[in-house]
Amino acid sequence: MVEGLLIGLQTALSIKNFLMVVGGCLIGTFIGMLPGLGPMSIIAIMIPVAISIGDPSAALILLAGVYYGAIFGGSTSSILINAPGVASTVATSFDGYPLTRAGKAGKALTVAAIASFVGGTVGAILLLFFAPALASVALLFHSAEYFALMVVGLSAIAAFAGSGQVTKALLMTVMGLMLATVGEGAQFNLPRFTMGLMDLQSGIGFITLAMAMFAIPETLFLVLDPSRSDKSGEGSSEIKDLRITAEEAKQIAPVIARQSIQGFLIGVMPGAGATIASFLGYAVERNIAKPSDRDLFGKGSVKGLAAPESANNAACTGSFVPLLTLGIPGSGTTAILLGALIALNVSPGPRLMQDQPEIFWSVIISMYIGNVVLLILNLPLIPYIAKVLTVPRTFLIPFILFFTLMGAYIGQNNPTELLFLVGLGVLATILRLASFPLAPLLIGFILGPMLENNFSRASQLYDGVSFVWERPMTTVLLAIAVLLIVLPSLKSRFGRGKFFA
């Protein structure tokens, strides 16, 4: 390992590769800030550029920098205009945007930057020391375990429901699961619920749905309620409150530590990714918070902002474990990176560490350097980034709509997607007016296909549902899911002294 570290340091700290880190971080941060584009699109576009570089180490360092730079910067649009830049920053908007509405945009961006830096750094350190061992653990997860993990994710929907809204949250989760079934099924590869429309055969795009749930309603509310922009401090010429108080630092420190580790472990599992890590991180922190702190989640909690930001950046780093050590993509973005590696004549897998140590170790070292670069680039820019809130409402509304429509179109390259965006956006506005939480709908939509795919594979392998009790890890995960559903009601009954009533 020491020899590999020295090789990685020498390779990553060369002038060429250091410029690749800085360039990748800059490009990724900028793309991440634009609603709907995300790292997958830009990495796919940049593969020819990476191949033209010729040096596999430099090419992969550049593409990796774009990836975690986009995750780092994706929180900006979620916090400022409630339009998630990338899928993994949807959970960031739950508390980031309420902080902006309370006139604390600078503080929210600072918390996000620090949480992202720590999450990415912890992930890089864990990747450095435990990559081979964690690759072996990842191999223990089969379809049955992934199905159970998705059930655990769905059982945590109470974390996204306000007081007395659990029933509404359940209904929205079911709606999300229903929307996820549109398109070709996992088991029979036949179109379902497409109403004869070819454009629905591949399903509804996640970016389209995320924009419809958050950006479109916010734009409509700005139009319907002109005073809404004034309430958020947009008319102010000065962005205040950039610093985190000692009390807030004390609150978020354990949250960031926990979610950096949890997010990394979720990222290690092939197919999980940063999006699931961010949602689970938010759910876990809300469920274990004190009642007084729990009530602040969704209303501008710094804990609720720090949790998904540290989790998604750590998971982004963790997804490189199965990619580099097993040759298995851990997320959609790393699947594109795998294609880039193959195009560069690099064979990721167990032999990569021995055969091409300069690639393996330089990428890991560059991740740590990249996180430092991102922090140095982003922290001084926070007052200027937050100035977007000083844009008059008459300019801000077209700005949000333009990038929302562009993001939905580019995501699927299909003009019909714009019709879905508007239709779902109007529906989301009505649901928000009726006080329905929208986050559970996205949870159901994200986890639905993975739940179905893994259940289908597991039931075929075991000729039924016997895998539930035949695989101990699956049984344990399902038991955790049951506890997550039952414990809140038991806690409520204990609190009221009615458990034995």
Tens digits of per-residue pLDDT, 342-354? 777 777 766 677 7
Local structure of residue 196 (DSSP, 8 states): T
Specify the residue for token string 């997550």. 484
The helix/strand/coil state of 453 is helix
Residue 391 pLDDT class (50, 70, 90 cuts): low
- How many whole angstroms separate alpha carbon 127 and alpha carbon 123? 6
Tell me the backbone φ, ψ of residue 40, rounded to 5 degrees. Answer: -60, -45
Domain parsing of the chain, residue ranges: 2-496
User: Poorest-confidence range of 24-38, 115-129, 216-230, 362-376?
Assistant: 216-230
Give ∠ CA 217-89-61 in degrees, rounded to 5: 140
- How many whole angstroms separate alpha carbon 317 and alpha carbon 309? 13
User: Poorest-confidence range of 245-254, 270-279, 361-370?
Assistant: 270-279
Say if residue 305 is exposed, middle or buried (CB neighbours under 10 Å; 0-12, 13-18, 19+).
buried
Residue 234 pLDDT class (50, 70, 90 cuts): very low
- Cα-to-chain-centroid distance, residue 349: 26
Give residue 184's identity as a one-letter amino acid code.
Answer: E
Whole-number pLDDT of residue 405: 80
pLDDT at 241 over 70: no
pLDDT at 69 over 80: yes
Listed residue (448, 455, 446) closest to 145, CA to CA:
455
Q: Cβ neighbours of residue 72 under 8 Å, at least 6 residues apart?
A: 25, 28, 29, 32, 113, 116, 117, 120, 313, 371, 374, 378
Whole-number pLDDT of residue 498: 46
User: Poorest-confidence range of 176-190, 231-245, 327-341, 345-359?
Assistant: 231-245
Whole-number pLDDT of residue 237: 42
Task: Tell me the HSE value of 41 on the side-chain side, using a 13 A CA sphere.
Answer: 21
Whole-number pLDDT of residue 236: 44
Average pLDDT over residues 417-435: 87
Whole-number pLDDT of residue 35: 64
In this structure, the strands spanning 191-192 and 183-184 are antiparallel
Whole-number pLDDT of residue 494: 58
User: pLDDT tens-digit profile of 437-473?
Assistant: 787 787 788 778 878 888 888 888 888 878 888 888 8
- How many whole angstroms separate alpha carbon 368 and alpha carbon 125? 8
Average pLDDT over residues 130-145: 72
Mean of the per-residue pLDDT values of the chain: 78
- How many whole angstroms separate alpha carbon 81 and alpha carbon 78? 6
Q: Greater confidence, 281 or 87?
A: 281
Average pLDDT over residues 196-209: 76
pLDDT at 163 over 50: yes
Q: Greater confidence, 327 or 493?
A: 327
Whole-number pLDDT of residue 412: 64
Q: Greater confidence, 271 or 234?
A: 271
Task: Tell me the HSE value of 420 on the side-chain side, using a 13 A CA sphere.
Answer: 23
Structure tokens at 70: 């986009």
Local structure of residue 193 (DSSP, 8 states): S
Structure tokens at 466: 């016997």
Average pLDDT over residues 184-211: 75
Listed residue (121, 119, 97) closest to 109, CA to CA:
97
DSSP 468-481: HHHSHHHHHHHHHH
Q: At what angle do helices 56-73 and 302-318 cross, to 10 degrees?
A: 160
The fraction of the chain above a pLDDT of 70, given in percent, is 81
Query: How is the chain split among helix, strand and coil, in percent rounded to 5?
Result: 75, 0, 20
Whole-number pLDDT of residue 235: 42
Average pLDDT over residues 257-267: 89
Whole-number pLDDT of residue 500: 39
pLDDT at 61 over 80: yes
User: Poorest-confidence range of 109-113, 114-118, 494-498?
Assistant: 494-498
Tell me the backbone φ, ψ of residue 483, rounded to 5 degrees. Answer: -65, -40
